[in-house]
Structure 1
Amino acid sequence: MNICVFLSAADLDERYTRPARALGELIGRGGHTLVWGGSDTGLMKVVADGAHETGGRLVGISVEFLRGFARTGADELVVATDLAERKALLLARSDAVLVLAGGLGTLDEVTEILELRKHGLHDKPVVLLNTAGFYDGLTQQLRRMEAEGFLPVPLDTLVHVADEPADALAYLERLPTAPQVR
Structure 2
Amino acid sequence: MNITVFCSAYSLDDRYSVPAAEFARLLGSGGHTLVWGGSNAGLMGLLADEVKAAGGRLVGVLVELLAHKGYQGADELVMTADLAARKAELLARADAVVVLAGGLGTLDEVTEVVELRKHGLHDKPIVLLDTEGFYAGLRTQLERMEAEGFLPRPLAELVSFAGTPAEVFELLAAAS
Instruction: Sort the TM-score into its range (normalised by shorter chain).
Output: over 0.9
Look up the match of 1:169: 169
> Residue 124 of structure 2: SS of its match in structure 1?
coil
Look up the match of 1:78: 78
TM-score normalized by structure 2? 0.99
Look up the match of 1:126: 126
In 2: Cα distance, 1:61 partner to 1:153 partner: 30
1:1-182 to 2 correspondences below 5 Å: 1-175=1-175, 178=176
Deviation at 1:171, TM superposition (A): 1.3
In 2: Cα distance, 1:128 partner to 1:27 partner: 15
Deviation at 1:73, TM superposition (A): 1.6
| Structure 2 residue identity aligned to 1:172 | L
Q: Percent identity?
A: 63
CA RMSD across the alignment? 0.6
Task: Map Cα deviations across residues 110-169 of structure 1 (whole Å, 9 max, x no partner).
Answer: 000000000000000000100000000000000000000000000000001001011001
In 1: Cα distance, 2:139 partner to 2:18 partner: 22
Deviation at 1:5, TM superposition (A): 0.4
In 2: Cα distance, 1:41 partner to 1:79 partner: 17
Structure 1 unaligned regions, length at least 5: none
| Structure 2 residue identity aligned to 1:26 | L
Deviation at 1:47, TM superposition (A): 1.0
| Structure 2 residue identity aligned to 1:89 | E
Deviation at 1:80, TM superposition (A): 0.4
> Residue 167 of structure 2: SS of its match in structure 1?
helix
Q: How many residue pairs get matched?
A: 176
Deviation at 1:71, TM superposition (A): 0.3
TM-score normalized by structure 1? 0.95
In 2: Cα distance, 1:46 partner to 1:73 partner: 12
> Residue 141 of structure 2: SS of its match in structure 1?
helix
Structure 2 unaligned regions, length at least 5: none
Deviation at 1:28, TM superposition (A): 0.5
